[in-house]
Every structure is written in C-alpha cells, then in structure tokens.
Amino acid sequence: MIAVTVPACNEAKNLRKCVETLLKETTQLGEDFRIIIAEDGSTDGTDKIAQELQQQYKQVIHLHAPQKLGKGRAIKQSFSKIEADIYAFIDCDLATNMKFFPQLINSIREGNDLSLGSRYISGAEIQRVVLRDVASRCYNSFIRIMFKDQITDHQIGFKAFSKRLIKDVLNECDSTGWFWDTEILIRSINKNYKCVEFPVSWEEKKNGTSSLEFIIEIGVQNIIGSIKLKQLMSK
C-alpha cells in the first residue's frame, strides 16, 4: 500500500488537478494506494472540492480540520490515519514535475528509507524568483553546517518514507509547521536510515507566497525550529 498525502490549505485552484494527476501516476505503479487530502483550515472552498473528490474516487480520503493545524501537524495526522508500506507527500501546486513521482516511490521500493527530490544538485532544473532562491540556499547551507548532514534540499515538498522509518520517527517530530520537513530528515539521518536524494525539475507557482514578509516568517520559524532541535538532540 502506498499512502500519498496532499497538504491543502486554501488550495481550491490547485487541488483537483493535483489529485487527478496523482491518480494517473499512482495507478501506473501497480500497487494499491490511497491519496489523503490533509485539508487544513481552508476558507476558500477547498474543503468542498476535497469532499467531492472523495465521493468521486474510491482511492481518495479527505481529512478535514476546521482550524489551521500547520503543515507538519496535518501531514503527521494523515500518516497516522492509515497503514501503508510507503508514505509520501507532495505539494498541492505540483511545483515538482510529476514525471519524477515513480522515481520517488521506486527509490523506497529499492531499499531506501527516505527518498526526496532536490532543486540544488547536479541535473536539477529550477525556475524561481531570486529572493526565495537565495533564502532557500542559505537555509540549506545553515542546516548542513548545524547538523552536519549532506542533504541539499531539506524543504522541498516531494518526499517519500519507508514504513519502518515512519513507525520509528514520526511521533518524535515536534514541529507543527514548515520546519517539520527538516526535522524528520534530521531525525531520520541521525538514526542512520538510508537516504537518497535525486535531481528534479521544479517551477515556482504564482501563489502570492514570494513576498519578503512571507520569506521572513518562514525563515524565523525554521531558524527557531533548528535551534530547538539542536538543543534536544544535544541532551
């Protein structure tokens, strides 16, 4: 069983396309699967679209939260709701080209515990506004120095995990927001789970989240999260 989570907060414009694209990709993998829409306190009608998709497709599960949980908590609750052999999540805007989705899943089938795309290793193609690109590269360098890992892209919304990793690491992750992506990677690598990172094509979507205010907000969350995690792991 493959369980793919789509975190969705105010994603009315993107959700249907995302889920129907995922349905095409997962069907070709030759294994039973579920697509879980972790709909997180939406106010733009995303919840109604998610409910329609659940009624239309038997493989789709809609998890509704009336109030915003945060990306990390939404994914964590989704993973906890279903038994699967492979767990994955992707961003609803399909910023990562979905031609790489089979590779994401097959990397776990091949014996890896953690699989993720990267915008920053050789062979990757990225289209992104300069401000966010610079901020992201600086953040990744900061995390590599702080935790001495080799991951180039901690925050990409295109990750897959083995069952044994999720059962062992998921409940240890405390972050409820954007830092969750980094936290689960660091905790997994610290426990010597086998990781593979591969280049992808990635295009930033125009969704109003490239403002300086947003970048600062996420940056502060991530820096605070990294300091807290470092303190916890040093005890």
Q: Tens digits of per-residue pLDDT, 14-23?
A: 999 999 999 9
For residue 227, pLDDT beyond 90: no
Size of the chain in residues: 235
**What CA–CA distance (Å, rounded) separates 181 from 169?**
12
* pLDDT (average), residues 123-141: 91
pLDDT at 122 over 80: yes
* pLDDT mean over 143-149: 93
Query: Residue 141's CB: how many other CB atoms inside 10 A?
Result: 12
Read off the pLDDT band of 207 (50, 70, 90): low
Q: How far apart are CA 98 and CA 85, in angstroms?
A: 21
Residue with tokens 């990306």: 71
Q: pLDDT tens for residues 162-184?
A: 999 999 999 999 888 889 999 99
Q: Residue 31: CB partners within 8 Å, gap ≥ 6?
A: 1, 2
- pLDDT over 90, % of the chain: 74
Q: What is the rounded CA–CA span in Å between residue 3 and residue 60?
A: 10
On whether the 2-234 domain is CATH 2.60.40.730, my answer is: no
With 70 as the cut, is the pLDDT of residue 9 above it?
yes
The pair of structure tokens assigned to 178 is: 């954007």
CA atoms within 13 A on the CB side of 133: 11
So which residues are the catalytic ones? 181
**What are the tens digits of pLDDT across the range 186-199?**
999 999 999 999 99
Q: In terms of C-beta density within 10 A (0-12 exposed, 13-18 middle, 19 or more buried), how is residue 24 classed?
A: exposed
Instruction: Give Cα separations from 34 to 27, 48, 57, 85 (angstroms).
Output: 10, 19, 10, 11
Confidence band, pLDDT 50/70/90 cuts, at residue 138: very high
- Name the pTM for this structure: 0.93
Find the mean pLDDT for residues 50-70: 93
pLDDT confidence bin for 235, thresholds 50/70/90: low
Spans of all domains in the chain: 2-234
DSSP string of 73-126?
A: HHHHHHHHTS--SEEEEE-TT--B-GGGHHHHHHHHHTT-SEEEEESSSTT-EE
pLDDT value of position 229: 87
pLDDT at 74 over 90: yes
- Give the tokens for residue 160: 């897959």
